[in-house]
Amino acid sequence: MPVFYGTDIASRLMLGTAQYPSPAILADAFRRSGAGIATVSVRREAGGDQAGQDFWALIRDLDVALLPNTAGCHSVREAVTTAQMARELFDTNWIKLEVIGHADTLQPDPFGLVEAARILTEDGFQVFPYCTEDLVLCARLVEVGCQVLMPWGAPIGTGLGLNNLYGLRSLRAHFPDLPLVIDAGLGLPSQAAHAMELGYDAVLLNTAVARAGDPAAMAEGFARALEAGALAHQADPMEPRDMAAPSTPVLGMPFS
């Protein structure tokens, strides 16, 4: 199971808390999936003594680790300020860092992301950066103190799966001991299983679960797929080959 900044997490599944049809369905999705971390947008919800207390009571009752995020931030200053608000509201140094650089694809701004990560790490935050699979960008994020990387599989909310298998494999090979989480773009449990087969440590989902016809069932499906994929990776699967190979060799068998 993943270990983030020295904290053991009991599940490979991380779930967002937006877009669910109702609070009860959100809670059921977490219960059936056994998700270990809940992410929440500081800009969307209020905490502490402000409005939205029913929402925060629900999140607390889930009994999972909370990962606030800076969703919707488009500048370094905006992201840093939002992260500082999150630490005050939720008493945690964890922050999922988003610095959006492109409005249509929601692709991260690599330059702003590195700068914000540096500022926050120096301020004592434990940063979970939403990034692309670019090796140079990821190396810079590690250099400024990030001990987890969260590359996208595809643009947020698209459900397209793992768009750049070469890049994701290269990233896993380049950082063999660093926790890697696929964040964004997954739409089906089979895609999550594939991420585990590549050696990734966890996935973060929101739209694929919240917008399903039965969010709780979909969340459970993702949880089961993650375990299957992780077992397959641990089992050292066979290498694909171009030519057929009989499962029952004929060598040494009698024939007439």
| CB-based contact 151:195 (threshold 8 Å) | no
DSSP-derived secondary structure letter, 67: E
Element (H, E) at 42: none
How many C-beta neighbours within 10 Å does residue 192 have? 30
Between CA 130 and CA 137 the distance in angstroms is 11
Between CA 231 and CA 225 the distance in angstroms is 10
> Which is nearest to 85 in space by CA: 76, 95, 75, 99?
95
Question: Is 157 among the residues known to form the active site?
Answer: no
How many C-beta neighbours within 10 Å does residue 156 have? 18
Q: Which residue among the candidates 96, 118, 140, 172 is catalytic per the annotation?
A: 96
Between CA 211 and CA 20 the distance in angstroms is 7
Name the residues annotated as catalytic: 96
